[in-house]
Each structure stands twice: as structure tokens, then as C-alpha cells.
Amino acid sequence: MNSQSARSLSSRQVTLIIVGFTIGAGILTLPSAAAELMGASGWVWVLATGLLFTGAAWVAVKFAQQAPGETLVEYSQKLLGKPLGILYSLFFAAYFFSFLPVETRVLQELVNISLLPTAPTWFVSGSFIFVMAYGASRDIKQLAQVNELLIEIALLTGVFVVILAWQHFEPKNLMPFLAQDQLHLGNLKVGIGTAFAYAGFQSINLILPYIKQPQEAAKATLKALLTVVGVYTFFTISVIGVFGYKETMAIAWSGLELAKSVNLEAIILERLDLILLIAWLSAIYTTGLLTYYMAALTLSKIWRLPSHAPIVWAMAPLIYYLSTLLKNYFTWNEWSFYISLLTLAISFVFTPLLYLLSLLKKRGERSG
Amino acid sequence: MKKKFRQPRLPSALKKEKERRQKEQQGEGPFLKPELEANITYLREAIGHSNDVIFREFYMKLDQPVRAMLVFVDGLITKEVINEYILHALTTFEADAEDKWTREREKLAERVKDHILTINEVSLQSDFGQVITAILSGETALLIDGSDQALICNTRGWEHRGIEEPMTEAAVRGPRVGFNEILRSNTAQIRRSIRDPDLRIKTMKIGVRSQTDVAIVYLASIAKPEIVTEVEERLKKIKIDGLLESAYIQEYIEDSPGSIFPTIQVTERVDRVVAGLLEGKVAVLTDNTPFALIMPVTFWQLYYAAEDYYHRWPLAILLRLIRMIAFFFSLYLPALFIAFAVHNPELIPFNLAIKIAGTREGIPFPVFLEGLMMELAIEIIREASVRLPGPFGQTIGIVGGFGLGDAAVRAGLISPIMTIVVALTAISSFAAPSFGVAITMRLLRFPLMLVAQISGLYGLSIATIVLLIHLAGIRSFGVPYLSPLVPLNLSDLKDFLVVVPRWAMINRPLAYEPLQIDRGGIKAQTWWEALFKPPQRERKGGRRKDE
């Protein structure tokens, strides 16, 4: 465990871990949800909620920095008492774990509709879960390096393809700005569902003890969230600008459609959507890898195990089983809606409450 | 005569005898005795059974004639040195009659060394084990009656290969010298390149039976001390009977013995070792082999050639880029072709896809099998041409490559496009400057082809991620293997895909954590700052940083 508990992550790696965690399955459905909520001005929703989550991330970091040498598992037990603390940690682990079946299932669906139409689902899901487990059983230092490279490639390729698609961009698709008849903010389910795309910064509560300079964690987290918000907003503007909001609402995988619209004579590859898909495969992989690691790490900390690797491998069949339960688009949408609810609860209720509690306790200690 | 020489033992001699017995009991000995006869019997028993070990007896004309014996191994020594500077000097020396040489027996060996022998490197040794090792390494032992110490004279000299241009790492520009099989000559070549008192050359013997000399070479004021001690520690732990090549050491001390990626660089170029030392690395030289080991090393460095630094920087950048493309091709090209041809033909432009499909018409094998057969054929040709003597090797290459490929295409067994792919891959893998990493890529190519056949681009991406996780976990003596790319190190990127001009390489690579970071060049914090301060402008100030 010594090599693990050493402070080895640079601020840059922390930023990229949070970016890698956050950008995953959510980005593909975000534009259509935004278009549903605010029509042509859907990007405003993305930007606004993004900034809200940035605020929540700031609270989460501040809370984590109350105990820079401890993960949430240890600190929550100090704050809430042992039973409640363990319960909260278990809840946290379950939260991280809940991402995995969705990510696996979404990936399998996309691979099956585009890259490998004939491959059986068990092969695609199984191989993906295996590779996730292989990565997640390593220590955070190694994970951070893998994540660093993959998420950079994914982001650069993604942005590159989207910029190419701007040849079809029409500014009038983004007008009128905030028209009353296009606003459907009452559509709570869709609104809450977009929170799924912003989940990820909660991991700072677990990785803080591994960061070289914990005092810089706040800056790193904010950088990460702003990057994510920037990418999401840019992506939403591009999709709505190219397709118009009505079409965007109808498209299931807006990113892929965007890439399909690109025509490039000079390039040796005929279809850019598959390139985007491969880039995005690495983005979804980093999400899966990190959630997997965090869930296993939380559990191993609760049970005080010397290594998290056995938990990782023990989880694999369960993830596979759960992913087969997600039969279609609607079931996993349902599932991601519940994850969104959890995200909202953790970001805006539990973490701020715990932060307040820790502040009060510190004040109490100081006066007492 | 012998009787005369025996004198009553002095108390000091008795004490010495006692000490010797004690040491022998502790397992350090056995030690030489004052009686020549006993020593000779012991040596004859130990090494006298071989005919190449020569025992030469003679008398020295001191105040009394003193019996002495030379022991050496024929073929490992320089005969002139023994004849002229030992035998001649000892037998013709005439001592003054007043000078009582034989009276103080203990000092006799010391005095012979100081006054008679005209050999530059002489030492006194009293442990039989050490004496025997010295004799077997080509030194000459001089045993004098009455003295319990042997004089070890350096008379080494044997037939060896001269300094030649390295075969495995040829260069268009750069010094044409490589290492040879003689450790001393190799260390001397390094010494000639770095005239720095901080250059440390520490030798040790490895191999219970072979007693091979191994030298650790590093710059004490640059190399990170932890790395040096780590190398030393690992070397000390080697338990082996014979050490034939530095590959033995490599296997014992490398970080990831299970991995197919080499974590130690192997080279026979002197300049490469010197460049490594200047970056803060440690080199290990082994006797009897021209291949030196350099550690730590990063993955990318295996794709750098020594020559990259001898060309002007725009050309160097081009060379690096070409080599990186070659690396990509040698690993992925056949697999990508299979993935496109089998699973995703819609990805390649329509006309090209039609062409590929057209040439593949009537080919009786699946793409994977076709590729596998061709790759295997290429590997066999390569192996055969290495084993055959020089001119035949080329013939095999031409007959095998041209003939087989052309015939296979004409017979309709292989598609011409697959021939192009396989040939390009083979050529690309020759572009790797390091032999070790080229083999790794050859090995990895086959599983990737299989993965591509089964699961196309998806499988290739997944396999790449697995590879990446594996690579991210490798450390070479504490240095991350994928550095400077991950973890990103901006300063070290000056010598990565892009090679900045020499005067802008102000810092040594930070990955090896050198004790002294700047190379003693111009004053600048970073290489991009240095790029805007060309050397001419700086020289007007006339001062170097280290002055």
C-alpha cells in the first residue's frame, strides 16, 4: 500500500482525471436533452447547469481539503460517527458503481451499430469490462497516466471532428435567443437527466490523499469543470447550429450524426464518424476505468483491505449481469436518470451539509 | 641452502601466523605461507593440472641466492613483459654485499617490488583465492621463498579484435568507433571522450566460475545517486556461474522481467554511452562483449538514434518523425489493413475499397491467414539471412523477398496489396535503431493481427488501451517508461518528436533527475526561451553560466 498512498499525482493529472471521469456516455445525449429543454438556445442550459456544478465542485474540494490526508471513507467516519460514516461511504461506492453498467451498455450499443455489426453483445461487453478491470486493478499513478493520454487524444480528436463539421454550421439555427415558445423547463425528467453528464468531480473526495500538492486541488478541479463546461457548450452549439433544434431533439447520437455530415475529399478515411467513435471510446473508457477504480477503492478502504484489485475482479461479473438488464435505450435512460438524481443529491445536499458540519466541528474544536 | 634460510621465528611472525589462522577459520583464506614449497604445492594442486599454466622457477642473486617462482597462464600474458621486465630484472639484479636483503623476510617482497621490478602495476597479495583469480585473469604471480605475500604483476595481453565500426548501429555521420571485447579498452574509450574527474568507473567481478569483470560507469556529479546505488545493489545480487554476455546481466537487473518491452538500452556505440552518461544515466560494461547496457531508459529513447544529434536540427526532426511513423507502421499496419478489409471497408474511400476487393478476388485464404503467412515468410527470410554468411544473406533476401512474393502473387495465393503491406511493415521494423525494441514490435504484431481479424477497429482500440496500461506501469530504475509524454514533462519535450538545436538543449532530461540540471550552456530557464536567444547574441556577454 505504500506505493499507493504516496502523493504522486500532479495538478495536471488531477484536472485530467476529473475531465476523464466526467466526459463519457453523457455527452452524446446532452445536446438533444438541451434542445428539448430550451430549443435553439439549448447551449444556455448546458452552460448554466455547468456553472452550477462548478460551484458544487468547489464546495466538494473545500470539503475534501478539510482533511487533506484522508479519503472520504475515513473523514466521514470521523464526522458522522462510524456506522453513519460507513453507510455514507457505501452509498458513495454504490454511486460510482452504478455508472459502470450504463457505460458498458452504451458502449456495446454503439460498437454494435457502427464498428462491429455482427459481433455478439457478450463479446463486446465482456471484453470492455475485462479491459476496464485490467486497468482499474492498477494503482492510481498508473491510472492517471493512462487517463492522461486517452482523454487528451479523445478531446483533441473530438474537437477536431466537430470543427470540421462547422462547414454546415448555420448561425440562424441558434436564433431566436431564448424564445418563450421553445422553453420547456418544466420537463423535469429531462432536466434532471442532464446532471448525468456532470458527474465526476465527486472523485476529488477520494483522490486528495494522492495529490502532490493538495492545496492546489481546488484550482485543478475548477480547471477541470471549466474545461468540461467549455467542451459541452461548444459541442451543443455545434450540434444545434448544424442540425437545428428540432432535428437535434430527434437524433439519438448527435455526435456521430455530426461527424457523418463531414465530407472530406482529401482525407484517406471515408467516414469520420468512426474516427470520432474510437476517440469517444477512449473517453468512455476513462470514465469506466475511473469509476471502477473509485468504487473498488472506496470498498477496500471501508474493509481496510491491503489492495483493491480483488474487489475489482469480483465486481466484473456483476457489472456484466447488470449491463444485460439494461435492455434498450429507455431502460438505460431510466437508470441514468436515477444516477442523475444521486449526483444532484450528493453535489447539492450531502456534500455541502458535510462541509458545514466539518466547519462547525472545527469551530467547536477551536472554541472548546 | 633452504636450511640456512630458516631462522627462528620472531614473536611478530608468530602473531601474524595466529591472525592468519583466525582469518582462515572465518572463511577468508586460505592464505600464503612463508614456505615457497608449500605455496607451490597448493597452487599446483589448484591450477597446475592444466598445461597452459606455467610455473617458472629461478633464483635471485641477493646477498644469498633466493629461490622464486613465476606463475602465469600462457596466452593471457605479454611474453616480452615477463621476459624483460620480470625475469631479466630479477635474475640480473646484483645486490650490494652489505645490504642484507634476506634478513628481514617479511619485507623481502615489498623491497623486491620497490627496487627490482620494472613493471608499472604491481600489488601484494596474500590470499590464495585472489592470487589464483589474478593468475587466471592474465596477471603473473611472483612467489618468493620466505615471503608470505605474492607479487601480482600486471602482464595482461592477449589477442583481440581491434576497434571497428559498430555492426548493429551504423551511422552516416558520427564517430566510427564501437566497443570491442576488452573491458579496459572500452572504459578507455569512454575516458577519452569525457575528461572529467567525476567520471567514475567501478569494477566488480560477477560469475562464480567466470569471474567476469563488470564496470559501472557514471558521472558522479550528474547521475542521481539513488540510481547508481540501485544498479550496484542489483548487480551485487546476481548469482551465476558464468557470464558470457551483457544480456545475462540485463535479464537479472531489468525492472519488468515479464514484459516484452526492454527497460535497458543495449548499444555498442561509444558516443551513445557517453551521451547517456552526460544525461545522468548509468552504463554497465561487461568484459568479453562489445554490448554495453545503459539505464534508465524510456520507451521513446529506443527509437532515437545517436545520429539524431549529429545532424542539423531540421533534418533531425524529420528523421525522428519518419522513425515514429515507422514505429507505428511496424506495429499496426498489417492489423489495420486486416481490420479495414474484414470489418470496416466502408471506412476507406470507395475506389480504394473496390481496388482492394478486386485484387483479393480468388484468393483462397482469409485476410488474416494471408497476412500471417506473408509475415511468417518475411520473418523466416530475415532469420535465414542473419545466419548465412554475408554475401549469401543478401541473396536470400532477394530470392526470398522478390521471388517468393512475386510467385505467390502470380499464383493467386496472395493479393498484391497484402504484399505491399507486409513489405512496408518489414522495412519499417528495420528503421528502429534499437534491435531489442524492433523484436518487441515484431512479436506484438501477430496478436494485433489476430485481434483485428476477430474484432476489427474496436478490438484494436481495446488492445491498444491494454498495451498502454501495461506501458504506463513499467518503470526503468524509477523512471516512468512513457516519459516525457506521460506524465507530461514540457522541458523534456525538447528532445522528443522535435529535436531543438543543440544550444537550446540547455537542460538535461529531467526524467532522470540529474544532480546538475543545466548543461552549462547559455542562461535560460526553458528551451523555448533559449530558442529566442541564439548563441551568437549570448556570446557577446562572454560568460558561461558555470564560470
CB contact under 8 A, B488 and A144: no
B257 domain residue, yes or no: yes
B174 domain residue, yes or no: no
The C-alpha cell at A236 is 451543443
One domain, residues B355 and B257: no
- pLDDT at residue B541 in the model: 47
CB contact under 8 A, B461 and A278: yes
Which of A298, A105, A108 has the alpha carbon at shortest distance from A205? A298
Q: Which of B246, B271, B298 is the last residue of a domain?
A: B298
B236 domain residue, yes or no: yes
CB contact under 8 A, B468 and A119: no
Q: Residue B289 belongs to what domain range?
A: 183-298
Quick one: pLDDT band at residue A268, thresholds 50, 70, 90? low
CB contact under 8 A, B488 and A12: yes
- pLDDT at residue A213 in the model: 87
- pLDDT at residue A143 in the model: 92
> What's A175's DSSP letter?
P
> What's B518's DSSP letter?
B
Q: Provide block-wise average pLDDT over 10 residues at a time, chain B (547 residues).
A: 53 72 68 87 89 90 85 90 88 77 78 86 88 90 89 88 85 89 92 92 92 94 93 93 92 90 92 93 94 93 88 91 92 92 82 85 88 89 81 77 85 89 90 85 92 91 93 91 86 84 83 85 63 56 45
Task: Return the HEC string of B17-59.
Answer: HHHHHHHHHCCCCCECCCCHHHHHHHHHHHHCCCCCEEEEEEE
Instruction: Count the domains in chain B.
Output: 4
Looking at the DSSP bridge assignments, the partners of residue B142 are B70, B151
One domain, residues B462 and B320: yes
The C-alpha cell at B41 is 604445492
For the range A81-87, what are the long-range contacts, defined as Cβ-Cβ under 8 Å and sequence gap of 24 or more?
A86/A302
One domain, residues B419 and B355: yes
One domain, residues B352 and B257: no
* 3-class DSSP state of A354: helix
Q: What would the pLDDT profile of A79-136 be if each residue is shown by its tens digit?
A: 888 899 999 999 999 999 999 999 999 899 888 888 888 888 899 999 999 999 999 9
Quick one: pLDDT band at residue A298, thresholds 50, 70, 90? very high
One domain, residues B422 and B510: no
What superfamily would CATH give domain A2-352? Answer: Amino acid/polyamine transporter I (1.20.1740.10)
Element (DSSP H or E) covering residue A368: none
Positive or negative, the CA dihedral A293, A299, A302, A306 is: negative
Q: What is the Cα–Cα distance from A189 to A175, expressed in whole angstroms?
A: 25
CB contact under 8 A, B456 and A138: no
Q: What is the Cα–Cα distance from B445 to B368, expressed in whole angstroms?
A: 12
How many whole angstroms from its chain centre is CA A313? 22
One domain, residues B7 and B148: yes
Q: What would the pLDDT profile of A168-198 be if each residue is shown by its tens digit?
A: 888 888 877 777 777 777 788 888 888 889 9
**CB A101, CB A326: distance < 8 Å:** yes
A 10 A CB-CB count for B52 gives: 10
Q: Higher model confidence: residue A324 or residue A180?
A: A324
**CB A190, CB A33: distance < 8 Å:** yes
Chain A (91-130) residues lying within 8 Å, Cβ to Cβ, of chain B: 111, 115-116, 119, 123-124, 127-128
- pLDDT at residue B466 in the model: 94
Mean pLDDT of chain A: 87
Pick from A138, A148, A269: which is nearest to B347 by CB?
Answer: A269
State which amino acid sits at residue A241.
G
One domain, residues B276 and B212: yes
- pLDDT at residue A166 in the model: 85
> What's B398's DSSP letter?
H
B386 domain residue, yes or no: yes
Query: Chain B closest CA to A172's CA: distance in Å?
Result: 32
Q: What is the Cα–Cα distance from A112 to B531, expressed in whole angstroms?
A: 50
Q: Which of B423, B441, B473 is the last residue of a domain?
A: B473
Q: What would the pLDDT profile of A230-241 be if each residue is shown by its tens digit?
A: 999 999 999 999
CA dihedral of A56, A59, A64, A68, whole degrees rounded to 10: 130
Pick from B346, B466, B486: which is nearest to A148 by CB?
Answer: B486
- pLDDT at residue B2 in the model: 46
**CB A80, CB A301: distance < 8 Å:** no
Element (DSSP H or E) covering residue B61: strand B53-61
Establish if A31 touches chain B: CB-CB under 8 angstroms.
no
Establish if A38 touches chain B: CB-CB under 8 angstroms.
no
One domain, residues B237 and B143: no
One domain, residues B317 and B465: yes
Give one DSSP letter per residue of B180-215, joined into a string.
Answer: -S-HHHHHHHHHHH---TTEEEEEEEE-TTT-EEEE
Q: Which of B451, B455, B460, B465 to mutate to test the interface with A (most CBs of A within 10 A)?
A: B465
Query: Chain A closest CA to B321's CA: distance in Å?
Result: 18
Q: What is the Cα–Cα distance from B476 to B482, expressed in whole angstroms?
A: 10
Pick from A119, A142, A282: which is nearest to B473 by CB?
Answer: A142
Query: Does residue A5 carry a pLDDT above 60?
Result: no
- pLDDT at residue B31 in the model: 85
Q: Give backbone dihedrals phi and psi of B340, rounded to 5 degrees, phi first.
A: -65, -45
- Write the CB contacts of B172 (distance below 8 Å, at least 6 apart in sequence): B307
One domain, residues B22 and B149: yes
- Return the residue matching grid coordinates 468512455: A284
Q: Which of B251, B267, B298 is the last residue of a domain?
A: B298
B162 domain residue, yes or no: no
CB contact under 8 A, B469 and A134: yes
B39 domain residue, yes or no: yes
Q: What is the Cα–Cα distance from B238 to A15, expressed in whole angstroms?
A: 43
Q: What is the Cα–Cα distance from A357 to B457, expressed in whole angstroms?
A: 51
